[in-house]
Structure 1
Amino acid sequence: MHVSVDTTLCIGSGQCAMSLPEVFDQDQAEGLVVLLDAKPPRELHDDVDEAVNRCPVQAISTTAP
């Protein structure tokens, strides 16, 4: 799995960072998503999918490796 974020869409709701801090964080200045791990381990894939679904503006996407 490869994770991508589009910071131009992000509104800083923080749903991703709260649900999966191993993969996502928030920029302190603007509150926008910061991707910490673009290729998370397999055991986090379900959690990444949940974070994608929680994003209110669909700023997070995944693709197969």
Structure 2
Amino acid sequence: MSGVREVAGALCAGVFDTAVALGALVGGRLADGPGLTAVLGTGAVLALPAAVADMRGAATRS
């Protein structure tokens, strides 16, 4: 069972690192192009579905 945990941990770390790298790439491109307002707007647009999913999950758990 220990091997499965190691694989799951490595996969989780890989997904996290990929998300950080993509965030830096997209954020940098937006900051260099349209500007910082576009970075903040994109962050807000991406945060909205995450907040909705979190609220749905909280409603399901309670």
TM-score in terms of structure 1 length: 0.28
TM-score in terms of structure 2 length: 0.29
Instruction: Considering fraction of residues, name the structure with more strand.
Output: 1
Higher RCO by CA contacts (8 Å cutoff, separation 6 or greater): 1
Structure showing greater radius of gyration is 2
